[in-house]
A and B are shown apart, each in its own frame.
Chain A
């Protein structure tokens, strides 16, 4: 039994209406496949039963001319009997014994033989007719059985084909569904690329706007960075008031060498006042100049100026420069 395909008559393939998308076709195919499979599962093959001679009416198989043949044969036998009877009568007349007992016996024997022959002939003819009818009926029953089996096989084959077609329809439906899904995913993927591109454009635009709004802050940062990175020269002025311990320390450090130390202002440069003695005399730091270098003095030093010192503590060296007696000064 063929299941009616969706949208089409039984045994005819389903026609997808124009405009249906692949999912609708897949759904139709799946429904058709399910219906076809269900129908195939319920298929009942044709029943085949063997015919029996005993239950078969043999009348149609008898020779319709059998009775005629039998009658003809019996007629022939009767004619032969009469001819023999006539022959016996003729013989008896010639022998003068017609009507005698011997003639009657011979006639009776001839009639009996004829009757027996007629009976055998009719019987054989009818037996042959029956056997022929039985044989023909048997052959028909065999052909009917063969035809029934062939029909049964054809039905089974048809059901198998329909099941296979339903399976193929289901496969096609699945294929259509997969194809639709694949195209959907392609669409979505390409759409995502487009959206991502648009989003990137928006993001760049927003970055530009943020760059615009944050530029003043950044410009402040530029200046602050410039100020912070520049080597800002700082002037550090240190004023030191020397105490007694300072002098003692200085005296201990310089010791006897300070006695008669050059304190001539002409030997010094970069003179800075760094403190004062308890007496009020200034204490300076300086750098020995070229003239000092000539007499073996170099680098920086600290002390008093000869021209501010009590003259009793100042002496003139051989090279003409003034020297201060620090021992007396710190005493």
Chain B
């Protein structure tokens, strides 16, 4: 603000020191790059499976019920998902369900899913998405949706 005359006036200017401008600017650039990475799916184990002791106890309970005529003879693990081995520990992961959900989203809402996916890099492609390209909506799908990959990345696979 400036002024003069009878009332006068003053102008205030705040200057950030030059030594801090560089790191701040680089931090912003790095944040922009990281924002393009996108969601990192987790394909590891999430839920521990029932242990043999638990299944044995459950089977014993079912057998006892059958012995006393309260239920038919049954396999307590029937209908339960097959556990996977994760380094010697039995458990379940949700990676496949996640991929299935993404695929279902792409199938049901293709335009929305494609636009979303173009914003970010593919998790295994190491490339940048729309933000990094700084160009038009010519990105690619990070989750394997065909037709959205740019030519240079079309050979990638998940």
User: Which residues of A are interface residues toward B (Cβ below 8 A)?
Assistant: 21, 23-24, 27, 180, 184-185, 187-188, 190-192, 194-196, 198-199, 201-202, 205-206, 209-210, 213, 216-217, 220, 223-224, 227, 230, 232-246, 275
Contact = CB atoms under 8 A, between A and B. Distances in A.
25 contacts: A23-B64, A27-B68, A188-B54, A188-B57, A191-B52, A192-B54, A194-B53, A198-B49, A198-B51, A206-B42, A206-B46, A216-B34, A217-B34, A220-B27, A227-B23, A230-B20, A237-B12, A238-B10, A239-B10, A243-B3, A243-B8, A243-B9, A244-B6, A245-B7, A275-B8
Contacts of A205: 44-45
B53 A24 contact: no
A240 B24 CA distance: 32
A165 to B, nearest CB: 22
Nearest to A187: B57
B51 A246 contact: no
B6 to A, nearest CB: 5
A234 B37 CA distance: 35
B82 interface: no
Interface in B44-73: 44-58, 60-61, 63-64, 67-68
A280 B7 CA distance: 16
Contacts of A195: 48-51, 54
Nearest to A23: B64
B108 interface: no
Secondary structure dominating the interface of A = helix
The 8 closest A-B pairs by CB, nearest first: A243-B8, A191-B54, A191-B53, A198-B48, A187-B57, A241-B4, A188-B57, A199-B48
B15 A235 contact: yes
B134 interface: no
Nearest to A210: B42
Given A23-B67, A227-B24, A234-B14, A202 B54 contact: no
A228 to B, nearest CB: 10
B158 interface: no
A27 B64 CA distance: 9
Contacts of A224: 27
A202 B57 contact: no
Nearest to A275: B8
A127 B27 CA distance: 143
B81 interface: no
Contacts of B8: 240-243, 245-246, 275
B143 to A, nearest CB: 16
Nearest to A233: B17
B67 A24 contact: yes
A188 B58 CA distance: 8
A232 B60 contact: no
Interface in B6-38: 6-17, 20, 23-24, 27, 30-31, 34, 37
Contact of B63 (A23, A223, A240): A23
B146 interface: no
B64 A180 contact: yes
A162 to B, nearest CB: 24
A209 B89 contact: no
B53 A206 contact: no
Nearest to B68: A27
Contacts of B20: 227, 230, 232
Contacts of A242: 8
B133 to A, nearest CB: 19
A256 B122 CA distance: 79
Contacts of B47: 199, 202
A27 B66 CA distance: 10
Contact of B17 (A27, A220, A235): A235
A239 B11 contact: yes
B32 to A, nearest CB: 10
B20 to A, nearest CB: 6
B123 to A, nearest CB: 10
Contact of B50 (A191, A230, A240, A241): A191
Nearest to A276: B4
Contacts of A234: 14-17
A236 B12 contact: yes
Nearest to A245: B6
Contact of B2 (A213, A217, A241): A241
B9 A237 contact: no
B86 interface: yes
Given A227-B27, A238-B11, A243 B6 contact: yes
